[in-house]
Amino acid sequence: MNRLLAALSGILATLAGVAAGHLAAALLDPATSPVLAVGSQVIDLTPTPVKEWAISQFGTRDKPILIGSVLVGVVLLAAVAGLLARRRFAYGAGVFVLLVAVPAVVAVTRPTAGVSAVVPSLVALVVGVAALAWLVRSAPSSASASSPQRPRQVRSDDESLGGASAAGGSGPSRRGLLVAMGVVAGAAAVLGGAGRWVASYRSRAVDIDLPAAAKPLPPLPDGLEKRFPDITPLQVPNRDFYRVDTRLDVPIVDVDSWTLTIDGDVDEEVTFTFDDILAMDLVEKDITLTCVSNSVGGEFVGGARWLGVPLNDLLDRAGVGTRADQILSTDVDGMTISTPLALATDGRDALLAVGMNGEQLPREHGFPARMVIPGLYGFISATKWVTRMTLTTYDEEQAYWTERDWATDAPIKPSSRIDTPRALAGLDPGEVVVGGVAWAQQNGGVGTVQVRIDGGAWQDAELGPDVGNDYWRQWFYRWDAKPGQHRIASRVVDGDGDAQTAVRANPFPEGSSGIQELIVTVG
């Protein structure tokens, strides 16, 4: 078998194995899929600066790009396995063992995994090796004819076929190999497709009837997007809401067996079922969520109406002790987030949310329950798929991002974002509407938003509806654009009268700062 076909056999056998493993994982536990397991491990091991770079380069596409890179690496190794198997089958199979060892180890060592987490990797191994064996056996024996290890086969071929075919072209034919390759490729596609279907079937939303809030909020006023469609909607629809987390898949949490436990430094450990939560007094709050990884002018921020239980009501049931200074919350997979206890309980509207914008929480955003705390970046406050809150101290316990040197105390920095016009846009002369969103939580809310053209004086913009200090504010400014290249900047001045700082900071370790300024061409 020539090199190309050998490499291709390795790749096809691997794809069949990966697809089978993915299907097995979809049936058992999607998080144990070999590809996802490796990808998640890469995320966890990636040094923070590299992660920040990837987020700034790829934005929300960072996940597909990561999965793609893992697959490219796997495909390269798979080709090597195919080439080695041509020499000696055990070598090729050995590469497969190494390939699945990584996801197998990763899967079983995830904090909440059982031994069964290794099953999808084993399935991938068995299917991959079997497919490779079949492909190697279906290959014309040109390579093996010259290989001293297989003299007997050459002789038996000679006997059975009387040497009718050319040396090495006997026995399994090239056509046989191509057919086998086609079958393996087809099997990979079918298994992979089945895996995707099972995963999406299992992750379909289960409809829950959420009770209304005890005192429902009035509907939001019309946002500026009604007048200027390029400005971000006052309330971001769930399907458009930014998503940031360390997961490649979305956890499938069974709401009937889900519980939330509050333990640690408490008078009495308490565990709530989902029904227990729904039986409490629910409140509604409009809160803007922001990611610490958001760069100035970035997309990782969004406003939504959350339905949930005040965090204090839950903590009061347990009775918080005097030693604790952090809430260490844990998600369904053991991922942890630490929140400064004093800030979470200082009277702000911290919630355990079960609803988002009038719907149950979408799976991507933490179904069945997540934390939402105004004024703190999501990485220290907004635990999705939360199952445990442990009252403890920063000395005793570290959380996921604390271990990666991010700040432990990270209030959201006031910032303004220009949604329209886009950077480098070409515009017609005349009136141009400059517009966007701004936020200044815990700083008295948004006082004013100002726009600066070509480094001139700051001019006040007009503001959209006021939904409260924990919510962002839309704004716009009518600019009389003259031909030429221009710089547009915007900044927020908070309710306390302090203007957004011009000092630039990167997201790491406690959030970005600086002023967004973009260039447009009028002509």
Q: Which residues bind ligand MTE (CB under 6 A)?
A: 241-246, 289, 291, 331, 335, 365, 378-379, 382-385
Q: Measured between alpha carbons, how far is 34 from 124 in angstroms, rounded to an integer? A: 8
Q: 286 near 217, Cβ under 8 Å?
A: yes
Q: Which partner in Mo ion, ligand MTE, none is near 246 (CB below 5 to 8 A by kind)?
A: ligand MTE
Q: Which partner in Mo ion, ligand MTE, none is near 242 (CB below 5 to 8 A by kind)?
A: ligand MTE
Closest-by-Cβ residue to ligand MTE is: 378
Q: Which is nearer to Mo ion, 293 or 500 (CB)?
A: 293
303 lies in the site for Mo ion, by CB under 5 A: no
CB 335 to Mo ion: min, Å: 13
Q: Which partner in ligand MTE, Mo ion, none is near 124 (CB below 5 to 8 A by kind)?
A: none
Q: Which is nearer to Mo ion, 84 or 244 (CB)?
A: 244
Stretch that binds Mo ion, among 189-197, 213-221, 351-359, 373-381 (CB under 5 A): 373-381
In single-letter form, the type of residue at position 331 comes to D
In single-letter form, the type of residue at position 124 comes to A
Q: What token pair was written down for 492?
A: 């927020």
Which residues on adjacent β-strands are paired with residue 386?
Answer: 331
Q: 416 near 232, Cβ under 8 Å?
A: no
| SS3 state at 239 | helix
378 lies in the site for Mo ion, by CB under 5 A: yes
CB 59 to Mo ion: min, Å: 13
Q: Within the chain, what is the greatest distance between any pair of CA atoms?
A: 97
Binding to Mo ion in span 231-250, by CB under 5 A: 244
Size of the site for Mo ion (CB under 5 A): 5
Q: Which of 379, 472, 475, 477 binds Mo ion (CB under 5 A)?
A: 379
CB 181 to Mo ion: min, Å: 45
Q: Which is nearer to Mo ion, 367 or 379 (CB)?
A: 379
Q: Which is nearer to ligand MTE, 96 or 306 (CB)?
A: 306
Q: Measured between alpha carbons, how far is 118 from 109 in angstroms, rounded to an integer? A: 10
Q: Which is nearer to ligand MTE, 364 or 396 (CB)?
A: 364
The answer to whether the bond into 368 is cis (omega within 30° of 0) is yes
Contacts of 85 (CB under 8 A, 6+ apart): 6, 9, 10, 91, 92, 93, 132, 136
Q: Which partner in ligand MTE, Mo ion, none is near 385 (CB below 5 to 8 A by kind)?
A: ligand MTE
CB 71 to ligand MTE: min, Å: 22
In single-letter form, the type of residue at position 248 comes to L
CB 317 to ligand MTE: min, Å: 22
CB 150 to ligand MTE: min, Å: 53
Closest-by-Cβ residue to Mo ion is: 291
Q: Which is nearer to ligand MTE, 437 or 488 (CB)?
A: 437
CB 371 to Mo ion: min, Å: 13
Q: 143 near 16, Cβ under 8 Å?
A: no
Query: Phi/psi zone of residue 489: left (φ > 0), alpha (ψ -120 to 50 degrees), beta?
Result: beta
335 lies in the site for Mo ion, by CB under 5 A: no
| SS3 state at 8 | helix
Q: Measured between alpha carbons, how far is 293 from 378 in angstroms, rounded to an integer? A: 10
Q: Which partner in Mo ion, ligand MTE, none is near 413 (CB below 5 to 8 A by kind)?
A: none
CB 208 to ligand MTE: min, Å: 18
Q: Which is nearer to ligand MTE, 48 or 147 (CB)?
A: 48
CA dihedral 488, 503, 398, 351 (to 10 degrees): -50
Q: Measured between alpha carbons, how far is 33 from 35 in angstroms, rounded to an integer? A: 6
CB 334 to ligand MTE: min, Å: 9
383-to-44, 331, 380, 400 alpha-carbon distances in Å: 17, 7, 8, 11
**Buried/exposed 316-342: b ≥16 CB within 10 Å, e otherwise:** eebebeeebbbbbbbbbbebbbbbbbe
Q: Which is nearer to ligand MTE, 328 or 382 (CB)?
A: 382
Q: Which is nearer to ligand MTE, 22 or 384 (CB)?
A: 384
Which residues on adjacent β-strands are paired with residue 434?
Answer: 477
Q: Which partner in ligand MTE, Mo ion, none is near 301 (CB below 5 to 8 A by kind)?
A: none
CB 134 to Mo ion: min, Å: 47
406 lies in the site for Mo ion, by CB under 5 A: no
Q: Which partner in ligand MTE, Mo ion, none is near 285 (CB below 5 to 8 A by kind)?
A: none
Q: What token pair was written down for 214?
A: 């005890």
Nearest-Å Rg of the Cα atoms of the chain is 29
Q: Which is nearer to ligand MTE, 80 or 386 (CB)?
A: 386
291 lies in the site for Mo ion, by CB under 5 A: yes
Cα angle value 293/299/301 (rounded, 5°): 75
Instruction: Provide the terminal-to-terminal Cα distance of the chain, rounded to the nearest Å.
Output: 63
Q: Which partner in Mo ion, ligand MTE, none is near 18 (CB below 5 to 8 A by kind)?
A: none
Contacts of 133 (CB under 8 A, 6+ apart): 89, 93
The residues of the shown chain that bind Mo ion, judged by CB under 5 A, are 244, 291-292, 378-379
